[in-house]
Structure 1
Amino acid sequence: MNNLTASDSQLMSLYRNGNEAAFEQIVKRHKSKVFTTIYLIVKDRYIAEDLLQDTFIKVVNTVKSGRYNEEGKFLPWVLRIAHNLAIDHFRKAKRYPTIVMEDGSHVFNTLSFADESAETEQIRKEVHHKLRKLIQDLPDAQKEVLIMRHYMKMSFQEIADVTQVSINTALGRMRYALINLRKSMEKYNIAYDKNLYP
């Protein structure tokens, strides 16, 4: 069988049986699409290249450990891995996002002082830590949109493209994410500035 004309599932089958050239072919075939998916999210060529390597390392590890189940859907599977690694990259980055609630108020605006004391900085860190925890507790689809929008500064069009949903769906998920986040913040008594946009 010619590797160039073989299907993805045939190549993965050959690779599972020790044919390294088959894996090289599948990487060559899908590398640019996987890279584009990552780059759309991280918007940094070097980070995207690192995450591209990580994606295929994860593919290799999954196949070698016998956890890859053949459904003939290699590309959607590898794109999902790439997508998750790109999202995780931002989750780990200790960024302070500007999260605007659905009523137009900003989370944390009350804590933005020009000359911050050590105490203010400590409060800010604690609030951000609590916020990250609340974001992690959101349903996956809502959490994903919130992270893409506020941490990654992606447009709703970009979010819709990457998550393969309509803009309306992306906007709806964002709205529910903010409503749920606000409820959680009120429940745990985390302050956000309700008076910024009266």
Structure 2
Amino acid sequence: MNKALFQELYAGHSRKVFAYLLGRTTNKDTAADLLQDTFLRVWNRIDTAGHIHEDERLHWIFSIASNLVKDYYRKSATRKKADERIRAERAETAGDLSQWLAGKERFSELEAAINELPEELRCILLMKVIGGMNSFQIGDSLNVPAGTVRYRIAQARRLLADKLHILPAEERVERRKPNG
């Protein structure tokens, strides 16, 4: 039973948890490591999972993942230092653009723009896009109302569109005018 329950939990929730972790860390390798650690803890506490109501299990897994992210940043000097290191790595990678194909270059721009979003917007957007979660699931996992989640997703998309110059100039300017 334990093995079957674990497989069910992993198959049903690993993608959502990975999206959350990627949103919190901006690093695929770190997110993958934290995902592995999360489900290792789930495995070690599989008996506990069996006693948790099925509707509450995702929330339980997210609390484990959230604690691991906090531990990760405590071990790192500071969040700012981690962000600077990531940006420095990206700058080194992007040094010779002649080696990149146009598609990879555009993807890299998008990835960088996503990583520059404020953490709460980045996290929610990645939980939606990569994790395949809806606003109610995200809201439940983060203890935020679903309407707020939808607003933040729209806000993140607008910021990305503006940063990547996807919107026509008139729309960018109009959105920045003060109300009045």
Please confirm whether the aligned pair reaches a TM-score higher than 0.5, indicating the same fold: no
- Select the structure with the greater relative contact order (CA < 8 A; seq sep ≥ 6): 2
Comparing both structures, which one devotes a greater share of its residues to helix? 2
TM-score (norm 1): 0.40
